[in-house]
Structure 1
Amino acid sequence: MTPDTLSVWAPNASHVDVLVTPVEGHGAEPTTAPERHAMTAGDGGWWTWRRPDDTTLDYSFSVDGGDPRPDPRAAWLPHGVHGAARTFDATAHSWSDEDWRGTREGRGVPGGVVYELHIGTFTAEGTFDAAIAHLKHLVDLGVDVVEVMPVAAFGGTHGWGYDGVAPYAVQHAYGGPAAFQRFVEACHHQGLGVCLDVVYNHLGPTGNYLAEFGPYFTDTHTTPWGPAVNLDAEGSHEVRRWVLDNALRWFRDFHVDALRLDAVHELRDESQPHILAQLSDETASLAEQLGRPLDLIAESDLNDAVMVTPTSEGGRGMTAQWDDDIHHALHVALTGETQGYYADFAGGTEAWPEGGPLSVLAKTLSDAFLHDGRVSTFRGQVWGAPVDQAARSGHQFLAYLQTHDQVGNRATGDRISDQISPGQQAVGAALYLLSPFTAMVFMGEEWRASTPFAFFTSFEEEWLAEAVRSGRRAEFAAHGWNEADVPDPQDPATRAHSVLDWREPYAPGHNEMLHFYRQLIRVRRTQPDVASGDLQATSVTFDEDARWIILSRGAVHVVANLAGRSQVVPFAGEVEHVLASWGRAPIVDAEGVRLDGHDVAVLRTS
């Protein structure tokens, strides 16, 4: 769409009308009935209507006399996902980040510290402007990149964002597209990059009108959400451009630095090049044009480094990918939970018969994946492929102790800090923050937040609200939960209880963990051996029975006692400096390192 033209792709339509209403003043409600204008058919199934002037308009499209529908490329939906779109000039913002060349002197996401947050619960207000007030906290923590959970418009005012139906629009309740531009600019002024979580594999259940415009979906492939987005069947060229143009737009018009691509294994595409490879190549071209790094981070269930293999070598070309195996191994080693997909990570299974949870943890910290061509018992088949340590950097994999999924998909949204001691969390934090991987902190984790992160929605349709409510309760009842204990996703209190309490970082019982996270990230930034992503320079030793583990990164060693009692962890080497410690200063002598129960120390040897 050009500034003076409204356009829409509707290849099978015989006629398309646009309904427009002038908006008097920014944010005002229309005061007149919409005017209907016939659009002009053009090449490739595109229809256009030239605007008489640059007045802000509310507009919608009617295909073959059908009900008015919002623009599939709408940037702003102030009336919700069923209402008219509003024109938005993305170039009107006067940017003041001209000197921005990307995080950490232009190095981008790899090797940095990412901070995942949800705009709707990061503050009580749940807006971009309110979030800006807390960016200094992230800077002090040592964060490099702020990863924002999806902001694409979805039904209702509150939700996680993974049921969005308008990928080009910014959720109005968060402040809309202009507020997102202000947020990105504020992050850049604080030295923080911005990664936006985007969802291209499906659309949500309400407000999804794409099929009325054209073949956006195909029955050739199916996904957990139904027919797949059409990436390789008839009409797919424009659907692919709808995806690709959306991604490039966030980089170009909103100055975003990275995109996290949700569940890319559900982007079903048998054409060449694969949509991800095409996106990678087009992103690289734009990065060269803009003069700053642009990163693509995949959430992939495939456990295959093909995702981060360059397109020139036949890969998908992603910068990095989430690594759930590291999370699962940490979670089982710390909590002892072994239900569901955690079973393999306890060891003693067909996937890993060699030993227990510490041996599994040691493998993931060294090799990135547990399932790397081994049997995955919860999938019921051989899964994944080994990571070539000589060819791949650990920075191409994200390691984490918590994520929105791993917290919010629990019945009550309880955090790992509800299940383990502060010392155990400190052990987990030290192991992943000082690992060879790119690290990701989930909002509030750094101060051991007491607030949950529960699954919540605010659908307006009662049938949908009840389907979500009953479906979630039935799912957890099947796992032994009392239905009454599972929060109602539609209850506003569920969202309210998930809002971070910004008094906690300064309170006893919370400030100590925040201080330790800052220590660890400082070590990560200042110690070259830790900053490296060299998997071959990483080694792990452990004692399954005594419950201790040592992660060594060159001359830096994370010495951890997972046992609940004090013990001496055998350690050989001349300790030059204690870089960080959770409990009392460790006692180092000829026998090793004496640590309290659930304790960890970071040592540098000469």
Structure 2
Amino acid sequence: MTEFAVWAPGHHRVELVSDGRSSPMSEDPTGGWWRLDVPAAGPGTRYGFSVDGGPARPDPCSPWQPDGVDGLSATVDHAAFEWSDRAWRGTHWPSTVLYELHIGTFTSEGTFDTAIERLDHLVELGVTAVELLPVAEANGGRGWGYDGVDLWAPHHAYGGPDGLKRFVDAAHSRGLAVVLDVVYNHLGPSGNYLSEFGPYFTDRYSTPWGSAINVDGAGSDEVRRFIIANACMWFADYHVDGLRLDAVHAIVDESALHVLEEMAEEVEALAAHLGRPLWLIAESDRNDPSLVRSREAGGYGLTASWSDDFHHALHAALSGDRSGYYEDYGLLSQVGRALERVYVYGRDYSPHRDRHHGRPAGDLPRTSFLGYLQNHDQIGNRAVGDRSAALLSAGRLKVGAALVLTAPFVPMLFQGEEWGASTPWQYFTDHPDPELGRAVREGRRKEFAAFGWAPEDVPDPQDPATRDRSVLRWEELDTDPHRSVLEWHRTLLALRRELPALATDGPLDTAVEVSDDEQWLQVSRAGVQISANLGAEPRRFPVGGAGRLLAASSERVVLGEGWVEVPADAAALTA
């Protein structure tokens, strides 16, 4: 608590700014680190660093930014928090059910503490882990979180460091694991001062969102250490169980040891030290199984990866959407291909890309991949943020839920999906800089003009009403059709717990029969059949096993001797 240190290579003078005074720091003989011991410092001490006489900037490893991204940092005594989860030993990954939520819109107040009040709902639903969208300090009081700039500091508007700890502790007390979304491919544009300290960024690569992180160029050793140490910090100091790594395809690393593989090695060692499993979950659009393949087999050894192919195929088949990258999808047989092989495009020709895409997943465990009908990206990156509930009938929404929650993947739901929430999930920001706010607004409208949207119809990200429209309306839980959709999700998740076959991780335990012409699909998994009918007329499906009806999304499902009749836009589970 008394030593202050900062990496600032190649500079002539670095000073600690605290209590209105500037104190010179001493440079290590090698490595570019500057240090100063301040015996009087303690928890909550405000401080910053001045480089070569410049203004005081927050610590690149600031644990807390009480006044936002432009204010001074504050010290945190992590040992002072009284945890009640000493007996927590984590949960079993293959049987995990994830629930993605955004602290700022999960409740109207938008804080860690008010989110705690809704955790019992998730337990009753059957969720086993919550995944928080990024909580790192970003400019303003509202936003998605993907423009964070103080990567070590939980957002002050959500409740800061202690607020996050209270949330994790409360989740663990209910048997819920916590996954935290982190962004290591870029930093936000406002309050980003890292380049004033050292070579954190490179102009050799670029990302769609800003300068690329320097993980393989000159001076990159400490940048890699910054990223990996940050990952380990969330596990050790905040007791989280997993990290979701945003857009890893935008982390360009041409060194022999990819930074993600190095991270996986260190996290595995930390898991052994802490005595509980720790997860690393990648988001990537490359359909690259090497992310989750073991390091012994030449992969990175991450726990799991998102599977956008399954989402795209299922969304397009249910909704008829063929815009943008959905032009590659739309056949119900592609849903079956994803269920059997993970990827629709596993080194197959993609018309949208006009090239071959992906690589086969082979015999990898299917629980190395996440399956979902909705997530923050696939909703929020639509012009008006319309959810599946706004695009599909209640019947088709239930068919989608049945295929996701019985798939061989680890399933994930997005907040409110379980009751078909009427609220959209729109893109919102809170940049104090008017010029930056204008650029974001115009960029958003220009992006969707290519899809035929009039500028006035695209919500203004800077308007507080855009965030407000995205806040869940919990009162919907007790009204139809939301109540019926919720009960269907609860039924499916209860079956997933009761039937081990629905939480297996074998690569060859899923077989699919499908007709694109008649619009039906039947999935068989270890004695369980999921029969889905998207056609216009009722259809009879053969039933194996004991011929028992486990669940039906419609009252008009009829079970006969060796068959089950499923009406249009409905699904039935039999065994």
Q: TM bucket by the smaller chain? A: over 0.9
Give deviations 1:440-480, integer Å, cap 9, x for gaps. Answer: 00000000000000000010000000000111011111210
What is the distance in 1 between the residues matched to 2:224 and 2:235? 17
1:172 to 1:230, Cα distance in 2 relative to 1, 3 A: same
Out of 409-418 and 502-511, give the one that drifted further.
502-511
1:88 Cα deviation after fit: 1.1
Are residue 451 (structure 1) and residue 432 (structure 2) matched?
no
1:261 Cα deviation after fit: 0.2
Structure 2 counterpart of 1:520, from 486, 492, 503: 492
SS in 2 for 1:242: helix
What is the distance in 2 between the residues matched to 1:520 and 1:89? 43
SS in 1 for 2:466: helix
Structure 1 counterpart of 2:341, from 364, 367, 370: 367
Are residue 405 (structure 1) and residue 367 (structure 2) matched?
no
1:211 to 1:426, Cα distance in 2 relative to 1, 3 A: same
Structure 2 counterpart of 1:381, from 342, 351, 355: 355
Structure 2 counterpart of 1:70, from 58, 66, 70: 58
What is the distance in 2 between the residues matched to 1:495 and 1:365? 35
* Alignment correspondent of 2:440: 468
* Alignment correspondent of 2:279: 295
Give deviations 1:223-277, integer Å, cap 9, x for gaps. Answer: 2234321111111110000000000000001000000000111111111211011
> What are the residue-to-residue correspondences of 1:273-292 with 2, within 5 Å?
273-292=257-276
What is the distance in 2 between the residues matched to 1:485 and 1:206? 27
Structure 2 counterpart of 1:52, from 14, 17, 39: 39
AA matched with 1:37: S
What is the distance in 2 between the residues matched to 1:534 and 1:414? 35
* Alignment correspondent of 2:392: 420
> Contact 1:548 / 1:569 at 8 angstroms: preserved in 2?
no
> Contact 1:110 / 1:320 at 8 angstroms: preserved in 2?
no
CA RMSD between the two structures? 1.2
> What are the residue-to-residue correspondences of 1:457-536 with 2, within 5 Å?
457-536=429-508
What is the distance in 1 between the residues matched to 2:232 and 2:296? 20
> What are the residue-to-residue correspondences of 1:328-343 with 2, within 5 Å?
328-343=312-327
Give deviations 1:413-462, integer Å, cap 9, x for gaps. Answer: 11011011011011011011101000000000000000000000010000
SS in 1 for 2:442: helix
* Alignment correspondent of 1:39: 25
AA matched with 1:410: R
> Contact 1:18 / 1:59 at 8 angstroms: preserved in 2?
yes
1:585 to 1:529, Cα distance in 2 relative to 1, 3 A: farther
> Contact 2:189 / 2:210 at 8 angstroms: preserved in 1?
no
1:200 Cα deviation after fit: 0.3
* Alignment correspondent of 1:184: 168
Structure 2 counterpart of 1:86, from 48, 61, 74: 74
1:340 Cα deviation after fit: 1.1
* Alignment correspondent of 1:309: 293
* Alignment correspondent of 1:578: 549
> Contact 2:202 / 2:212 at 8 angstroms: preserved in 1?
yes
AA matched with 1:35: R
* Alignment correspondent of 2:245: 261
1:308 Cα deviation after fit: 0.3
SS in 2 for 1:76: coil
1:52 Cα deviation after fit: 2.4
What is the distance in 1 between the residues matched to 2:21 and 2:503? 60
Structure 2: 5+ residue stretches without partners: none
SS in 2 for 1:215: coil
1:71 Cα deviation after fit: 0.5
* Alignment correspondent of 2:111: 127
1:564 Cα deviation after fit: 3.7
AA matched with 2:51: V
What is the distance in 1 between the residues matched to 2:17 and 2:536? 68
> What are the residue-to-residue correspondences of 1:129-208 with 2, within 5 Å?
129-208=113-192
Are residue 7 (structure 1) and residue 5 (structure 2) matched?
yes
What is the distance in 2 between the residues matched to 1:508 and 1:222? 47
1:254 to 1:340, Cα distance in 2 relative to 1, 3 A: same
Give deviations 1:176-202, integer Å, cap 9, x for gaps. Answer: 011001100000000000000000000
Give deviations 1:550-591, integer Å, cap 9, x for gaps. Answer: 1111111111111244x1223142544211111116212257
1:601 to 1:83, Cα distance in 2 relative to 1, 3 A: same
AA matched with 1:387: A
AA matched with 1:416: S
> Contact 2:180 / 2:242 at 8 angstroms: preserved in 1?
yes
What is the distance in 1 between the residues matched to 2:444 and 2:211? 22
SS in 2 for 1:453: coil
What is the distance in 2 between the residues matched to 1:208 and 1:236? 18
> Contact 1:110 / 1:319 at 8 angstroms: preserved in 2?
no
AA matched with 2:141: T
Are residue 222 (structure 1) and residue 220 (structure 2) matched?
no
1:304 Cα deviation after fit: 1.2
1:38 Cα deviation after fit: 0.8
What is the distance in 1 between the residues matched to 2:493 and 2:253? 39
1:530 Cα deviation after fit: 1.2
What is the distance in 2 between the residues matched to 1:54 and 1:577? 68
Are residue 592 (structure 1) and residue 566 (structure 2) matched?
no
**TM-score, normalized by length of structure 2?**
0.98
AA matched with 2:273: Q
1:54 Cα deviation after fit: 3.8
> Contact 1:111 / 1:439 at 8 angstroms: preserved in 2?
no
Give deviations 1:9-51, integer Å, cap 9, x for gaps. Answer: 0011101011112xxxxxxxxxxxx111111111411111212
What is the distance in 2 between the residues matched to 1:324 and 1:88? 38
What is the distance in 2 between the residues matched to 1:210 and 1:195? 26
What is the distance in 2 between the residues matched to 1:547 and 1:310? 38
SS in 1 for 2:157: helix
What is the distance in 2 between the residues matched to 1:411 and 1:398? 25
SS in 2 for 1:173: coil
SS in 2 for 1:503: helix
Structure 1: 5+ residue stretches without partners: 22-33, 347-356
AA matched with 1:134: R
SS in 2 for 1:243: helix
> Contact 1:559 / 1:569 at 8 angstroms: preserved in 2?
no
SS in 2 for 1:191: coil
* Alignment correspondent of 1:394: 366
Are residue 545 (structure 1) and residue 531 (structure 2) matched?
no
What is the distance in 2 between the residues matched to 1:361 and 1:576? 25
SS in 2 for 1:536: coil
**TM-score, normalized by length of structure 1?**
0.93
> Contact 2:547 / 2:561 at 8 angstroms: preserved in 1?
no
> Contact 1:62 / 1:69 at 8 angstroms: preserved in 2?
yes
What is the distance in 1 between the residues matched to 2:568 and 2:399? 11
AA matched with 1:583: S
What is the distance in 1 between the residues matched to 2:5 and 2:354? 48
What is the distance in 2 between the residues matched to 1:573 and 1:44? 67
What is the distance in 2 between the residues matched to 1:541 and 1:4? 65
Give deviations 1:73-118, integer Å, cap 9, x for gaps. Answer: 0011111111111111122111110100002xxx2x3331000000
> Contact 2:315 / 2:321 at 8 angstroms: preserved in 1?
yes
AA matched with 1:437: F
What is the distance in 2 between the residues matched to 1:225 and 1:507? 40
> Contact 1:568 / 1:591 at 8 angstroms: preserved in 2?
no
